[in-house]
Amino acid sequence: MDTIGKNVIITLTGASHAESVGCEIRGIPAGVALDMDAIRFDIDRRSARSHSFATPRQEADEPVILSGVTGGVTDGGPIAVSFTNRAYDRSEYRPVARPSHADYCAWVKSGGREDISGGGKYSGRMTLPLVFAGSVCRQLLKARGIEVFSHVSFIGSVSDADFDPTMTEPPALDPFFPLADVTKRAEMEALLEKTRAEGDTLACGAECAALGLPVGIGEPLFGGVESTLSRYLFMIPGLRSVEFGELKTFGSEMNDQFTEGGRTMTNRSFGVNGGISNGMPLIFRCGFRPVPSIKKPQTGFDLVENKPVPLTIAGRHDTAILPRGLAAVEAAACAALLDLVMEYEKGYGE
């Protein structure tokens, strides 16, 4: 399924080594003046060009708007955007499934018809059009006073500090390598460097927050904030876990006691109870697997010969999905939250 959303309906198209990747966004009202510089900035935050431990695959990532925006202003119709893929070489990939990639599953599922080169539609490149769509959604959230931001919570064995869960303002963050404790950056970069030199890759985690959400976002039962966010987030390749709230042993340690104006003194629920936003900062944490393309010798699966074969992955790969994946995490969060906010604005039970 390549489409998601009820009020803002997003469709992603293309594949890693296809002619292009792109998106179509329906439900953005007419008359929104899009800030293209802000969209380009989010695209740059995801781009390998902006990160030293990212894949050397260098793409221009230039959005070509095909419809829905006239003179920089939305016209109410579907916004269609395309990004041409240039820096790809199909000769890099034989029909051999790489360990822990989607190659084998996609090949079998499609009866051997899918172009799995570069990971096909399961590639991290599909987060480029997601970032475009999320950046558009971010602008509509900002107009409502809602800010979404994130930081790297860990890379390998090096952990950052946590966000203050009772914060009332976004903290100052470096957009390209955001950390709550900037002193951790050198240690993280040294570990990335060492791991890359060893031909290996690293697990990593992100913490993402939304400030300014009113009480009441999220629909009861299947449409809650956690389940909705998770559906968007799990589109991001390599994502393995999403958590809302800190699990403590005892209820007395976990409960958030009320204070003035319905706020709570602590925020161990991370801003959501019963699937509904409670007015405190909405926070979630997510964990990414180590990038599966490692340089060490492995055993792949020859999809034509139908047998295991020795495999050494050449090609160009990231050492960890973060920090560049943060742009995708925020994009998924912005798209999910705008969809929920628009539902909330229709009125409850309508």
Residue 328 found at the interface with ligand FMN (CB under 6 A): yes
Q: How far is the CB of 290 from ligand FMN (least distance, A)?
A: 9
Burial group, residue 183, by CB count within 10 angstroms (0-12, 13-18, 19+):
exposed
Distance in angstroms (rounded) separating the CA atoms of residues 311 and 51: 27
127 counts as binding ligand FMN under rule CB under 6 A:
yes
Q: Tell me the backbone φ, ψ of residue 22, rounded to 5 degrees.
A: -165, 180
Q: How many residues bind ligand FMN (CB under 6 A)?
A: 21
Window 13-52: residues binding ligand FMN (CB under 6 A): none
Structure tokens at 267: 């925020």
Residue number with the smallest Cβ distance to ligand FMN: 124
Is 124 among the residues that bind ligand FMN (CB under 6 A)? yes
Nearer to ligand FMN, 123 or 264 (CB): 123
CB 12 to ligand FMN: min, Å: 13
Footprint of ligand FMN on 273-302 (CB under 6 A) = 289, 291-293
Q: What is the contact mask toward ligand FMN in residues 221 to 250, using x (rule: CB under 6 A)?
A: ---------------xxx------------
Task: Tell which residue, 240, 247, 242, 241, has the closest CA to residue 269.
Answer: 247
**Residue 297 is encoded by which pair of tokens?**
């010798």
14, 119, 165, 178: which one binds ligand FMN (CB under 6 A): 119
Site string for ligand FMN, 298-327 (x = CB under 6 A): -------------------xx--x--xx--
Q: Report how far residue 173's alpha carbon sits from residue 157's, in angstroms, rounded to the nearest whole number.
A: 21
- With contact defined as beta carbons under 8 Å apart, do 257 and 264 qualify? yes
* Residues 97-116 as x/- pattern, contact with ligand FMN by CB under 6 A: ----xx--------------
Which of 61/219 has CB closer to ligand FMN? 61
Distance CA 320, CA 124 (A): 12
Work out how close the CB of 264 gets to ligand FMN at its nearest, in angstroms, rounded to a whole number.
Answer: 33
Interface of this chain with ligand FMN, residues 48 to 77, rule: CB under 6 A: 55
CA–CA dist 210, 284 (Å, integer): 9
Helix (H) or strand (E) holding 198: none
Which parts of 112-250 fold into alpha helices (H)? 127-142, 185-197, 225-233
Q: How far is the CB of 126 from ligand FMN (least distance, A)?
A: 8
Which pair of tokens denotes residue 19? Answer: 């002619």
Neighbours of 285 (CB within 10 A): 20
Residues that bind ligand FMN (CB under 6 A): 55, 101-102, 119, 122-124, 127, 236-238, 289, 291-293, 317-318, 321, 324-325, 328
